[in-house]
Structure formats: C-alpha cells, structure tokens
A and B are shown apart, each in its own frame.
Chain A
C-alpha cells in the first residue's frame, strides 16, 4: 500500500492532475464569491494546492519537479503574448508620444519606489530582487526573476498583492482627483496592476480594458529589458 502511495506521488500525472483540480476549484469558488477583485482565482487555487500537498504529505520540491511537465507550457504561452501586442499596434503608433513620455518613467518608478522603501527598511538583496518586478505580468516577471535572482514564490506573492492594491488605489484616486477618462484609468490599471488590473479595467469599459492591456504589455516588455540591465549596473 505504501509502495503504491509512493509511486503515485512520484508520477508527474498526479502533480498535474492536482494542479488542474485545484485551479478549477479555485475558479469555481471565485465565481461563487461573485468574482471579488481582492481575491484572485489563482490565489484560491494556490491555497487549495498547498492544502492538498500538506494533506498528502507531498514534499513541495517533489511537487515542483513533477509539475514542471505542465509548466513547460509557460514558455510558448509567453511567446504567444506577442500576438495581442501586435494587434494593439495601431494604439501604440497613434499615441506614441504620450506613451514615450510616460511609460518608461512609470515602469521604472513602479519598481523603484518598492525597492527603495524595502531597502530603507533593511530588506536583504534577495527580497529587493523579488519585489522589483512587482508590476510586471507574471510570465514576464518569471523571466526577469531568472535574470536578477530573488525568490520566485515571494515575487509571485508580491505580484498578486500589487495587482489587488492597484485596483483599490486607482478607484480611490480616480474619485479624489476626479479622473473619468477611461484611457487614463485603464492605462494606470495595466501599468501597475498587470492582469489583475486588466480585469478591473474591463469592468470600467472596453476602452479602459484595451488601454490596460496595452499598458501591461508595454511595461512588461520594457521592464524585462530594463530591470536585468539595471540590476547588472547597480550590482545589488
């Protein structure tokens, strides 16, 4: 019996099945909760996965090794992001001036503020590196993390929190500063809050959604080129 149990735990099939089940369960619960923007479906799915690993006494390192059969798809799925970016080329060409003036600065500051604050509070280099890609969409952020180091898990957790906080702060500041321009709100949501911001932007309207996707893609590409370079230069 024990042998059977061990051999089940040892197959990639179980790890993949567990992951899919937890994710689908997370999405189902997310729908039942009325799609709350403060609690993304992938977070619920991650809690389910962690709980089942604990119940099964499944070592996390073993799980990671086995589930790599599934996450291999992350590579081609990341390459696929070129397609929506290509489809947005008209927006980019039409608005190249405001984009060029604001986007690089916004992307740099999104990383800089958090890294600076954490550094002032005495966080070690591994934590700083994990916080730097916090506004970048997860697949590209994982590529950045390969380059600059830090903890993958901490980085992804920070990403989720950043996404949720962005939706809260954009709503708050839109009211305080009386901003109603969907393009600006959408862009701010995508630039700072990656995929979670986009979901919120589409609730504001299709135009906000389109600008959020644009902001997310551009920040992702810019940061993936800029952050590893900056890390090399400043050698932290």
Chain B
C-alpha cells in the first residue's frame, strides 16, 4: 500500500505541475514542474514521507527502460536527417570534449581543496 500511496502522491504533484504550468503558461514540462513542486514541498516539510520514498525507489530504476521506446526512433529517422549526420557527430564530439574541459577547469578553479572530513559526505544513494 505504501507504494500505491507514494505513486498517488507523485501523480498528484505531476497534475499540480500541469495546472501551474498551464495557468502561468510557463516554458517547462509538466513533470518538471511537478518535480520542482515536490522538491519545494520536501524542503518546507524537512521530512521525507515514507510512501513517496518507496514509490520513487521503485520508479527511478525504471527510467532507462521508459526512455528506450524513444531511443528506438533513432533507427527510423536516419533518412530524415541524412546529410546532417556529419554535423551532428562533430558537434557532439567536439562539443562534449570542450564542455568536459570547461567543467574540469571551472571546478579546479572554484572547488575548495578537499578538507576530507572522513568519508561521511561520500555516501549517498
């Protein structure tokens, strides 16, 4: 029952996100607005509801499977983007190299040297 109750919470926040986005005509997706609203609610309450935790632990591992039908489409748009594949590959390759380099440089520049207060901050799920 915990799972179902948590699932209903998540659906509720998604619907709330839907309503907020449409009412304010915000340029974000409904689920994204639901995520932000749930996060805000958790931060205000400062306590993680057990059923929400259960449902999120059940759903998050499914994300890779849920996006797969979209990935399948790549094989069906090969012709549609014929002639642009070289541009796509160069943009992804060079772009990713540059952005990894920039992130590393920014972090080296701004991250305080490791104080290493044991390993307690390392463990998160």
Contacts and interface: CB of A to CB of B under 8 A. Distances in A.
Given A19-B65, A181-B114, A192-B99, A79 B84 contact: no
Contacts of B75: 46-47, 50
Contacts of A129: none
A225 interface: yes
Given A117-B90, A205-B122, A232-B27, A80 B59 contact: yes
Interface in B53-70: 53, 55-57, 59-60, 62-70
Contact of A77 (B60, B70, B123): B60
Contacts of A98: 107, 110-112
B44 to A, nearest CB: 11
Given A102-B107, A184-B108, A71 B66 contact: yes
A124 interface: yes
Contacts, number: 327
A74 B67 contact: yes
Interface size band for B: 35 or more
B107 A49 contact: no
Nearest to A148: B27
Interface stretch (A1-9, A31-39, A136-144): A136-144
A142 B67 contact: yes
Given A122-B87, A142-B29, A154-B81, A86 B42 contact: yes
A177 interface: yes
B111 A183 contact: yes
B24 interface: no
Nearest to A23: B65
B101 to A, nearest CB: 6
Given A42-B65, A60-B76, 5 more contacts: A82-B42, A135-B99, A147-B27, A161-B89, A192-B99
12 contacts: A73-B62, A81-B60, A83-B38, A101-B106, A118-B88, A135-B96, A138-B64, A138-B70, A165-B97, A169-B100, A192-B100, A206-B122
